[in-house]
Amino acid sequence: MNDRLPAIGCTPSDICTPFLLLDLDRFEANIRTMAAACADRGVQWRPHSKCHKSPVIARRLLNAGASGITCATLREAEIMADAGIRNLLIANMIAGPAKVARLIPLAARSDLIVCVDHPDQARPLSAALAAAGASVRVLVEIEIGMNRVGIVPDENAVRLARLVHDLPGLELAGLMAYEGHLLTVPDADRKKCEITAALDRVLKLKSRLLDAGLPCPVVSCGGTGSYPITLQQPGITEIQAGGAIFMDAFYEQACHIDSLQHALTLQTTVVSLPTGDRAIIDAGHKSMNITIHMPYVRDRPDLSVAWLSAEHGALTRTQDADGLFIGQRLELIPGYGDLTNVLHPCFYGFRNGRLEEIIPIVR
């Protein structure tokens, strides 16, 4: 954290840019929207924490009705457990002796769920947990078209589920899948059909597990870019959508999510106006990530982010762009907030134009 922290009660213009401004009213409205959408469908909300890496925020989500927290890494889960948060899903594979060894103390102090898609993750985990007298719940991760991790939902998946069920130290909790490859299908009807078909493969596998006498209380999937559709699928028990609490340009422009408000902005300053068609801001690659989606300048359709260097951002100005001056503040809506937030030490939480709290991002 910065040792020159601004005073609570100050205004955004008192803080040096670039920094992440969290509009607390909008943030809380997004949390209410997500909690209510899940509650309406009788589905649990286990928001992904990779977009905030903040135990303070995770605790707030649990207080607002989230059933548990999703993490992308062992480290993220440890950070949550350090803050006393117990109900944790690591939506990722734990592989290799170093990670297996590190998981054991985490399992002992939390109610942990991990994923497997192969016996070679399950067996070492089982051996280490059983030797330590500990256990974890396990979801078998299913491949539904993303071509990332996951076992194809056929007979081998049933065999893997049975192995998990039988191994000491492991408790078969159900299935997980992520429909991440379908978030940006442009046509709304096609998106719905494709997500429904992809998740149907998981739900059919669930039926096979139940027919085989195996338990499957949990079916976990869903991201911010798909949650309105995923929530409609009968049989899904929990949704992992996390970035929804901030809402960024990717979810809005590429995934066409319109139920959430932009709560998070990157505050920047115009530092130079070298030509009539270019403005330079003080935020570059070290303040924002543009790989998944481009950020945009809020309320300035006459400006667009053209390219970045480490600590400079180049904006293209249209002919009629005016009213720009050196020293002017511009607010950017992050492209994919998840990858941008980790470049910062904290969120500055504002309400009614005043700094109310500083929320650390823990890495």
Ligand X SMILES: Cc1ncc(COP(=O)(O)O)c(C=O)c1O
Comparing CB distances to ligand X, the nearer of 226 and 265 is 226
Beta carbon of residue 221, minimum distance to ligand X (angstroms, whole number): 7
Beta carbon of residue 224, minimum distance to ligand X (angstroms, whole number): 3
Query: What's the Cα-to-Cα distance from 215 to each of 114, 138, 160, 174, 201, rounded to whole Å?
Result: 16, 11, 13, 7, 17
- Interacting residue ranges for ligand X, rule: CB under 6 A: 48, 51, 91, 178, 180, 223-224, 240-244, 338
Comparing CB distances to ligand X, the nearer of 233 and 240 is 240
Beta carbon of residue 118, minimum distance to ligand X (angstroms, whole number): 17
Instruction: Give phi and psi for 3, each to the nearest 5.
Output: -85, 0
Comparing CB distances to ligand X, the nearer of 223 and 228 is 223
Instruction: Using alpha carbons, select from 310, 324, 311, 312 the residue that is nearest to residue 277.
Output: 324
Q: Cα–Cα distance between 168 and 83 in angstroms, integer?
A: 29
Beta carbon of residue 262, minimum distance to ligand X (angstroms, whole number): 15
Comparing CB distances to ligand X, the nearer of 147 and 352 is 147
Question: Closest-CB residue for ligand X?
Answer: 223
Beta carbon of residue 146, minimum distance to ligand X (angstroms, whole number): 9
Q: Cα–Cα distance between 129 and 100 in angstroms, integer?
A: 9
Q: Cα–Cα distance between 224 and 180 in angstroms, integer?
A: 10
* Whether 105 contacts 80, CB under 8 Å: no
Comparing CB distances to ligand X, the nearer of 126 and 240 is 240
Instruction: Using alpha carbons, select from 55, 118, 12 the residue that is nearest to residue 348.
Output: 12
Query: What's the Cα-to-Cα distance from 274 to each of 101, 110, 285, 302, 330, rounded to whole Å?
Result: 55, 55, 20, 17, 17
